[in-house]
Structure 1
Amino acid sequence: MALQRDRLTLNTELRHLSIKDRIQLSTILDIDHNWKLLAAIIPKPDGMDGSLITSSNVKVLEDLLKIGKSPTQALLDFWGTSGRKRATIEDFIKLLNSCRLYRASLFLCNDILKLESFDHLIDINCSDSYLDTESINKMTNNLNLNTKGNTSFGDDKSFAGKGFSELSTNLCHQPMDKMDAKNCFLDPSAPNESLISFSTLEDNNAQNIVNENIMQYSYEEIRRATNDFADHKLGEGAFGAVYRCRLRRDSDFIAVKRLKSDFQKQFLSELKVMTKFSHKNLLSICGISCDGPSLLIIYHYMSNGSLQECLEKRPQCLSWSQRLAIALGTARGICHLHTFDAKPYVHRDIKSANILLDNDLNARVGDFGLVRVGSGADNTSTKPLATTIIGTTIYMAPEAYRGDISVKLDSFSFGIVLLELVSGLKPYDESREGFDLLSYVEERVADLDEEDERSIVRTIGDQSIGPLDERIAAELYRNSRKCVEQRKKYRPAMTEVLQSLECLERN
C-alpha cells in the first residue's frame, strides 16, 4: 500500500513509496543508466551475503527500454518486496549516496520526506560516505554493466562546498532535457514489466499450434480493411495495437491485434492458450494472419469496449445488477482458466481494460499473451525465477515481484476490479489523494468499522448511477477486501470468490 507523503519517514519501507514518487525517481535514475550503479550494490536481504541483482536480472531490466518501460521502476519494485526485512527509504538513500547519485537522494530527503536537515544522511564532503571508484567499478564489471555516459563518475567533485538548499534547487528540480522519452515510465495503468518469473510457454511456431478450426486471414486483406493500419484504432498496449475493421460491407466487425515485431513469443503463447479452451466469458479467437510483416490475431469485436472505458465514459450504462453480472462473468472466465486443465493457467493481467463487454454487456476476459502455467490455490511455494514477469503495477499482488506465480495472483487483480465496480473510480488518478485506487479506498475508510460494509460503500460507492444498492455494493466490496489481502495464503481462490458472488445473485 502506498502511503501519503506526510506519513513517510526514514523507517518507512521502500515499497510504500507512491507510484508517482517512484515515477519521479525513475526519471532521475534512468538518465545515463544510473540505475545500474544502484543495482550493482544492492545487497541480498535479511543479512545474506552477496548482491540481490544478478547479471541476468540486469539484462532483463535493460530489455525494458526496448518497449519504453523504466528499469528503475522495476528495480525498485523488486528490491522493495524482497526478503522478510524489507528495505527502507533510509537504506535507499544510503545506497544512492554510496554511489554518488545525489540528485535522487536529495529528491528523497527534500521533496518526498521534506526533512529540515539531512546533513547526517548526505555528507558529500566525507570520503567514507561513498564507495571508492575502484570498488564500484569492480561491482559493475562483475554484473557486466556498461554505464553509458558516466565517464566522470569516479572523479565528480562538483558537489563539494555547495549548500544543501542550492543543491536541492539545482539538482532536484532541473529539467529532464536529457531524458529520452522512451525511458520514462508514464502510465502506471498500462502494462509494466517487472523483474523475473516463469519462462514462457514452450516455443513453437504458429503452424504447429493452429488447428483446422482456426481461420487464416490474408495480411494484405486486413491491411486494406484498416487503411494500412491507420483507421479505427481501438487501443494499444505493450505488445501491439488493436484495430476495428470489417472485410466486407455486409460482414460483422472484427478486432485485429497487430503485434510488435519483438513479441512473437507472446503471439505464440496467446495462440496456444486460446486454442485450448472455449468459454462464453473468455474472448474467443476468430483467426490469425502469418503471411505478412506483422503477426495478427483476429477476435470477435466487442461493441461496448472495455469495462474500464465503460466505467470512465458511460457509468450510467452499468446498473448495480449489471455490475454484479459483469463481476460474475469475469469470475467465471477466470475460474475456467484456473480449472479447465490439470494444471491451472494464470492470466497475470486481469484488469478492467482486459474485461471486454459485448452488445448485451456480457463480460469476456481477453488478452492472453501473459498466461502461464502456475501453482494451485493451496500451493504457497515460490516458483523458480527465470525470464520476465509482465503485468500491470496497480493490479499486481506483492508476491508477483518475487516471481511467485499462482492462481492467487489473479484473485488479487480481480479484487482491484471489484473496487472499480463499487466505486466507479479510475484505477490510477494523480488528481486524488492515494493515486492508486486501493490506497485511496483504504485512506477513505480508515476511520470506519471495517466490518460494516454498508457504511463503507455509502462512503465510496458510485453515486453517478442513481440510488446505491447497498446489498450488492457491500458484497462486492467484501469480496474485494478478501481478494486484496497482502498475504497470499489468506487470499481466496477465484472458485471461492465465484461461489460467494453466485450466492449473492441467487438471493
Structure 2
Amino acid sequence: MPTNSREKKIDYDTYIRDLPFSTQRYLSFLLDPDQLWKKFVIHVPKKVDSPNFQERYSSMQVKLFEERGNKNNGSSTKCIIEDWGTQNSRVKHLLKALTEAELYAAADYLSVKILRQDPVQRKTSATSFSSHSDSLPYPPSFSPRQNIDSVDLDEKKFNKDKDISELTGQSLPQSSVDDVLYHRIQSYDVYPSNDAMAGLSLNSTIKHKNTDNYTKENKDNLPVIQPQTKTQEFSYKALCLITNDFDGRNLEEGGRVIGSGGFGKVYLGLPANDYKVAIKALKFDEDAKPDAQYEAMMTKQFQTELETLSEYRHENIVPFLGFSVDGYQKCLVYQYMPNGSLEDRLYCLHNTDPLLWQQRVKISHGTAEGIVYLNTNKLVHRDIKSANILLDENFSPKVGDFATVRLAPSGTGFSSAVSTKLVIGTSAYMAPEAPRFDISAKLDSFAFGVVLLELLTGLPPLDEQRSECDLLSYIQENCDETDISKYLDTKAGSWDIDLANSMYEVSRQCYENKKKDRVLVSEILPVLQKLVNKI
C-alpha cells in the first residue's frame, strides 16, 4: 500500500511535525470521536527517550486540548501532535504511544499504511483468527474470552444498532437512523459496471499472477480459514497476511484487488488451506475533506451488512464468514465466488464462456429463492441487480451486498414510507415508487423483473447507445407483450421458445408499473420451479 508519491518518504525517524496534513487529519479522524485522544495523550512522554516515563501534559493542558477540539473544525488530536512536535518527537515515538494506549486502529494506520510494515504487536498476541478481547469494546451480549476462535453471532444476536456500534467502536451522530440508513454510497449507472459486490469475485479462468508463488513461499506463516455456520471475528493482522498486506494492485498485475466501488476495495485472500476468501475493506479517503455524515453512512452500512449476513443465512445468500474491526480498515469477509457476478458472466467479461439458457433459468430460480428468503424475514434488499448476484463454482446464484437492507413492517407486500435525503438503488432497476421512499418487498420484485430481462436478452441494464437507455423501457417499447423470441440472447444457445416466453411473462408480472398490480417474488417462485423442472 504505497504512500502518496508526491510526499516525502516517511520512516520511523521522521519528525511528527513533518507528517503530511492528510496523515495528521486521518489520525484525527480515528482519535477525535468518543475522545479517544484522551487515551493517547496520557501516554505522551515528557522526555521521548527517557527510561523513566512521565506524562508530558497536565490536566489543565488536557482541558485546553479539549476546548480547542470543541471549536469549529477543531481537532484535539491535531493540537497534541502539533505541540508534541516541538519536542523533536519522531514517528517511532508516536507509534509507541498509540500502541501503549492500545489504540490499534491508529497505530496500524501508521505502521501498515504509512510505514508499510506489519500491524503493531498487541498486548495480547494473536497470530491466528482470534478475538482481541483487550482491544475491542464488547456489547452486553458478548463477554471477553481468552483464545477464542470466533464470536458466535447466531447464538448471541446483536441488539440491533446499539450492540453493533459498540462492537465496531463507533457511535452514530444524533440524527435520524432512517436518514443514515437511506443514504447509499454510490451505485454506478454507466454500463459496464464492475463495482460493489460484483467485486467479490473473479472468474476462475483468469490467471492469478504471483499469488500462487506467494502462497507457497509463505505457507507456514499463513492462517487457516474454515467455513463455519457462525460468524467469526478475524484479526486485521491475519487479513494482512492472506492479502499480501492488502496489495493494492489488480490481480492481473500480481496484486490482490478484485473489485472496487463507493465502499472501498475488495481483496482476494489466500489462507494456508487454499480456502479462498473475498475481503471487503471499507475506505476512508484521507485526502478528502472530512465528512461526518459520509462516515456515519459508511459505518451504518457496515453495521447493516454485518448484522444481516450474521443472522440470515441461506444457500442463495452470499456466504458470510466474518469481520475485522481491530485495524485501521473495517473489513467484511466472504467466501470467494469463482464465477464472478451475473453481470460479468452475461457480458462475458475477460472472454469467459457465455451462460447457456439452461443455466440462466436455474439462476433465475435460485436468485428468486434468495429474495423470497429475505422478504419472508421481513427484509427488503433494495438493490437487487445482476452485479449483486454472485455465482459459485457450480454457477449457483448468491444474492449479495446487504448494505441497504431495510427491516419493514409485516403484512402483505409490507411497506413503509420514510423521510430521507437520497434514494437507494440503481436507476435501471428502480420501481416508480422508490423516489417517494415507499419501501416494500415489491421494490425487490421490480428489480428482479429487470434481472430476468437481462437473463433472457443478454443486454445491459443501461446503454446510452440505445434509443431507450434503460433495458426495461427498450423492451416495453420494442418487444411484443407475449413473445420475446426476437430479443433472446443467441449466445445462450437454442432457447426453448415457450419456456423463454413463460419466463418473460414472469418478468412482466414483476415489473408492473403500479405496485398494487405487481407480484411478490414469492408468488412467481413456483412458476420458475416448474420451468427448471422442464429443463
Give the TM-score range, shorter chain: 0.5 to 0.7
Q: 1:228 aligns with which of 210, 235, 245?
A: 245
Report 1:284-323 matches (<5 A). Answer: 284-313=319-348, 316-323=353-360
User: Counterparts of 1:188 and 1:487 in 2: how far apart (Å)?
Assistant: 29
The equivalent residue for 2:467 is 433
The equivalent residue for 1:330 is 367
The equivalent residue for 1:384 is 418
Aligned length: 306
Determine if the alignment matches structure 1 residue 351 to structure 2 residue 385: yes
Instruction: Decide whether aligned partners of structure 1 residues 186 and 355 sit closer, same or farther in structure 2, where only a CA change above 3 A counts.
Output: closer
The offset of 1:298, in angstroms, is 0.3
User: Counterparts of 2:518 and 2:186 in 1: how far apart (Å)?
Assistant: 33
The offset of 1:221, in angstroms, is 2.5
Q: Is the 8 A contact 1:221 1:247 kept in 2?
A: no
The equivalent residue for 1:399 is 433
Q: 1:259 aligns with which of 282, 290, 297?
A: 282
Q: 2:303 aligns with which of 249, 256, 268?
A: 268
Q: Is the 8 A contact 1:191 1:393 kept in 2?
A: no
Deviation per residue, 1:453-485 (Å, 9 max, x gap):
2xxx22110012322221221121111111111
Q: 2:458 aligns with which of 418, 424, 429?
A: 424
Deviation per residue, 1:286-312 (Å, 9 max, x gap):
111111011100000010000000000
Deviation per residue, 1:1-26 (Å, 9 max, x gap):
xxxxxxxxxxxxxxxxxxxxxxxxxx
Deviation per residue, 1:62-115 (Å, 9 max, x gap):
x98x96789xxxxxxxxxxxxxxxxxxxxxxxxxxxxxxxxxxxxxxxxxxxxx
Determine if the alignment matches structure 1 residue 473 to structure 2 residue 497: no
SS in 2 for 1:464: helix
User: Counterparts of 1:301 and 1:419 in 2: how far apart (Å)?
Assistant: 27
Higher relative contact order (CA 8 A, sep 6+): 1
Q: Is the 8 A contact 1:242 1:255 kept in 2?
A: yes
The offset of 1:359, in angstroms, is 0.3
User: Counterparts of 1:274 and 1:393 in 2: how far apart (Å)?
Assistant: 25
User: Counterparts of 2:417 and 2:449 in 1: how far apart (Å)?
Assistant: 23
The equivalent residue for 1:462 is 489
Q: Which runs of 5+ in 1 are unaligned?
A: 1-55, 71-184, 193-210
User: Counterparts of 2:497 and 2:307 in 1: how far apart (Å)?
Assistant: 42
SS in 2 for 1:255: strand
Determine if the alignment matches structure 1 residue 237 to structure 2 residue 266: no
Q: Is the 8 A contact 2:258 2:267 kept in 1?
A: yes
The offset of 1:244, in angstroms, is 1.2
Deviation per residue, 1:182-204 (Å, 9 max, x gap):
xxx86796889xxxxxxxxxxxx
Which amino acid letter does the alignment assign opposite residue 427 of structure 1?
P
Report 1:178-193 matches (<5 A). Answer: none
Deviation per residue, 1:368-390 (Å, 9 max, x gap):
11100124573576523246442
Report 1:140-151 matches (<5 A). Answer: none
Instruction: Decide whether aligned partners of structure 1 residues 265 and 360 sit closer, same or farther in structure 2, where only a CA change above 3 A counts.
Output: same
Q: Is the 8 A contact 1:315 1:464 kept in 2?
A: no
TM-score normalized with structure 2 length: 0.53
Q: 1:498 aligns with which of 507, 525, 531?
A: 525
Query: What is the identity percentage for the equivalent residue pairs of Structure 1 and Structure 2?
Result: 41
User: Counterparts of 1:481 and 1:376 in 2: how far apart (Å)?
Assistant: 25
Which amino acid letter does the alignment assign opposite residue 322 of structure 1?
Q
Q: Is the 8 A contact 2:305 2:403 kept in 1?
A: yes
The equivalent residue for 1:487 is 514
Q: Which runs of 5+ in 2 are unaligned?
A: 1-174, 197-227, 249-254, 285-294
User: Counterparts of 1:503 and 1:412 in 2: how far apart (Å)?
Assistant: 21
Q: Is the 8 A contact 2:462 2:469 kept in 1?
A: yes
The equivalent residue for 1:180 is none
User: Counterparts of 1:252 and 1:191 in 2: how far apart (Å)?
Assistant: 24
User: Counterparts of 2:192 and 2:416 in 1: how far apart (Å)?
Assistant: 26
SS in 2 for 1:356: strand
Of 224-233 and 399-408, deviating more is: 224-233
Instruction: Decide whether aligned partners of structure 1 residues 190 and 347 sit closer, same or farther in structure 2, where only a CA change above 3 A counts.
Output: farther
The offset of 1:239, in angstroms, is 1.9
Q: 1:367 aligns with which of 401, 411, 422?
A: 401
Deviation per residue, 1:214-252 (Å, 9 max, x gap):
22212123224323331232222222221112122x321
Q: Is the 8 A contact 1:189 1:428 kept in 2?
A: no
Instruction: Decide whether aligned partners of structure 1 residues 186 and 498 sit closer, same or farther in structure 2, where only a CA change above 3 A counts.
Output: closer
The equivalent residue for 2:448 is 414
Which amino acid letter does the alignment assign opposite residue 328 of structure 1?
H
Which amino acid letter does the alignment assign opposite residue 435 of structure 2?
Y
SS in 1 for 2:490: coil
Which amino acid letter does the alignment assign opposite residue 493 of structure 1?
L
The equivalent residue for 2:231 is 214
SS in 2 for 1:435: coil
Instruction: Decide whether aligned partners of structure 1 residues 69 and 353 sit closer, same or farther in structure 2, where only a CA change above 3 A counts.
Output: closer
Which amino acid letter does the alignment assign opposite residue 281 of structure 2?
R
Instruction: Decide whether aligned partners of structure 1 residues 466 and 284 sit closer, same or farther in structure 2, where only a CA change above 3 A counts.
Output: closer
Q: Is the 8 A contact 1:281 1:362 kept in 2?
A: yes
User: Counterparts of 2:496 and 2:238 in 1: how far apart (Å)?
Assistant: 48
User: Counterparts of 2:239 and 2:276 in 1: how far apart (Å)?
Assistant: 12
Which amino acid letter does the alignment assign opposite residue 326 of structure 1?
I
TM-score normalized with structure 1 length: 0.56
Instruction: Decide whether aligned partners of structure 1 residues 279 and 382 sit closer, same or farther in structure 2, where only a CA change above 3 A counts.
Output: closer
SS in 1 for 2:417: coil
SS in 2 for 1:390: coil
Deviation per residue, 1:236-289 (Å, 9 max, x gap):
2222221112122x3211000111242111111111111112210111211111
